[in-house]
């Protein structure tokens, strides 16, 4: 079953680039005690991912942080060297943290893996976005292969804006 709102994020290892080398990191450590906006893409340097998905999060990183997000993470099934190059080429370096799921550990555990045989990609991660608060998914969006919009940074900002609106209404009572 695909991960959903209210569920704990799968406890798996993913990879980051640290000191010029790949380092396995527990996803629990990345999310514990923090509010994180994470989005997943089928692949670095691919058309929609490079033209829309990553730039949207890079351009909105400050707005997400102003709305209470501690870190913005991009997860892809690429290795961390490719992700590092993609972040630098996309002006996302320092705005979006890149995490590699080359073993599909997270994608499989969250039931977000998809076969993209028609594009010659093989097994990849389905496009998604989520907000995770101390390890629990509070907002979740996914899309069918080839589609983009629902998983954008703007959608997560709308989610966060809705939270603020609800807080204002509750405070008015």
49 is known as an active-site residue: yes
Give the pLDDT confidence of 49-98 residue by residue, as tens digits: 766 789 999 999 999 999 999 999 999 999 999 999 999 999 999 999 99
Residue-range domain boundaries for the chain: 13-172
Q: How far is the C-alpha of 163 from the C-alpha of 126, rounded, in Å?
A: 26
In percent, how much of the chain has pLDDT > 90?
A: 70
Instruction: Write down the catalytic residue from 49, 74, 125, 168.
Output: 49
**Token duo for residue 79:** 């290795």
150 and 142 Cβ atoms separated by less than 8 Å: yes
Residue 125 confidence (pLDDT): 81
Q: Specify which residues 139 forms β-bridges with.
A: 131
What pTM was computed for the model? Answer: 0.88
The dihedral through the CA atoms of 79, 107, 65, 34 has a sign that is negative
CATH class of 13-172: alpha beta
CA–centroid distance for 160 within its chain: 15
Give the pLDDT confidence of 36-63 residue by residue, as tens digits: 999 999 888 877 776 678 999 999 999 9
């Amino acid at each position: 079953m695909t991960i959903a709102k209210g569920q704990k994020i799968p406890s798996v290892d993913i990879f980051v680039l640290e000191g010029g080398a790949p380092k396995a990191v527990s996803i629990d450590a990345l999310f514990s005690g923090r509010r994180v906006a994470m989005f997943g893409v089928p692949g670095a340097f691919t058309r929609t991912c490079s033209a829309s998905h990553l730039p949207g999060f890079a351009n909105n990183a400050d707005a997400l942080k102003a709305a209470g997000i501690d870190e913005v993470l991009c997860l892809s099934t690429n290795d961390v060297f490719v992700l590092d190059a993609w972040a630098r080429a996309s002006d996302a370096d320092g705005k979006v943290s890149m995490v590699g799921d080359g073993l599909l550990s997270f994608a499989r555990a969250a039931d977000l893996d998809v076969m993209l045989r028609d594009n010659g990609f093989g097994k990849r991660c389905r496009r998604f976005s989520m907000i995770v608060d101390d390890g629990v998914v509070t907002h979740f969006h996914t899309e069918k292969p080839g589609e983009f919009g629902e998983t954008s940074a703007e959608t997560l900002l709308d989610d966060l804006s809705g939270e603020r609106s609800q807080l204002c209404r509750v405070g008015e009572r």
